[in-house]
Amino acid sequence: MSTGKKLVNSPEDAVDEALAGMVAVHPGLRLLEGHRVVVRADIASVVKEGKVTLLSGGGSGHEPSWAGFVGQGMLSAAVAGSVFASPPPASILAALRAVSSPNGGGGRRPGTLVVFNNYTGDRLNFGIAAERAKAEGMKVEMVIVAEDTALPSSGKKAGRRGLCGTILVHKIAGALSEQGATLEEVVKAAEKVAESVATMSVSLSPCSVPGHKPSFHLQEDEMELGLGIHGEAGAQRTKLQPANKVVARMLDHLTSQEPGHQYFKPEPGMEVALVVNNLGGTSNLELSLVANAAIRYLVDRMGLKVERAYVGAFMTSLEMAGVSLTLLKLFPKCQQLLDYLTNA
């Protein structure tokens, strides 16, 4: 069980020191002075070439999201908030200024796509910054990702939560941008991915924000299905079960066609990409075991074709033990864009 212990110097400086460390070990990145914004070191060349730029971000504590996906073929910049808190509009606007140009690439105005998860603070702060950027003459579009399948859609004022499926939006939109697609083309593809992706998670232990105790507790023999990446309540708390049964429950829930849950409809022969995401404190042994169980269930029980599978830590929740499973229904050229080279 999480105890709240952290290897930090001080809770107040943890985010800034972590970002400084990331930039220190990745020469292709730099920090925007005065802001928690990581940008590509070659961003001036990207803008000059007239390519669409991509910006994302959110609260810290989900590393490697989002700064870990800044690089050629993915994000142009990422803005970080405090742990589990949305970044302020001023920093988002500074990031937009860093990756935008009123006239780039021979007079073109390529524009910037802003991608973020569906959380109230992010919607508010990114929306404010985008409107200010437009008022300054920047060309900005937004795509909000909300692919959580844990809770029914009825009666949810805030809508579905954004989870690990966001990284697939980054990947496909970033590949198109690198190939010289227009902002309209990049937005269309990003929206298609956001509509075609679904995620379900399971947690075995809580996490704790630096300087604080865990925000909730699970007994040694308990797990929670559908928990949010900030510790938000899930769909069900139950006794811990063998991995094969847990994976089956997650995928059955993700593909449920019950009223209020019709988020992802599987069809025999459908081609999908699978992401097995470490929520932070899960061992590599467990991840590989879960990946095997998920692929077997999708292929043998659901009749799907798993054309691509990714396993690792992509969007974490500090040290939370658990995993999320993400499915993306592949569409034409999707595999090519997923395979496109990135150095992020």
Where b means 16+ CB within 10 Å and e means fewer, 178-196 reads beebebeebbebbbbbbeb
Output phi, psi for 99, to 5 deg: -110, 5
Catalytic (active-site) positions: 230
Nearest CA to 149 among 67, 254, 293, 75? 254
Contacts of 164 (CB under 8 A, 6+ apart): 199, 275, 277, 314, 315, 324, 326
Note the helical H segments in 88-229.
89-99, 120-135, 166-178, 183-196
Strand order in the sheet with 112-117: 29-31, 37-40, 77-83, 53-60, 112-117, 140-145
Output phi, psi for 193, to 5 deg: -65, -45
Torsion angle, alpha carbons of 295, 299, 305, 307, to 10: 20
142 DSSP β-pair partners? 114
Distance CA 284, CA 31 (A): 31
Assign residue 65 a region (left: φ > 0; alpha: ψ between -120 and 50; beta: otherwise): beta
Contacts of 151 (CB under 8 A, 6+ apart): 160, 226, 235
- Token representation of residue 227: 């928990």
Nearest CA to 308 among 287, 321, 294? 294
Element (H, E) at 21: helix 14-25
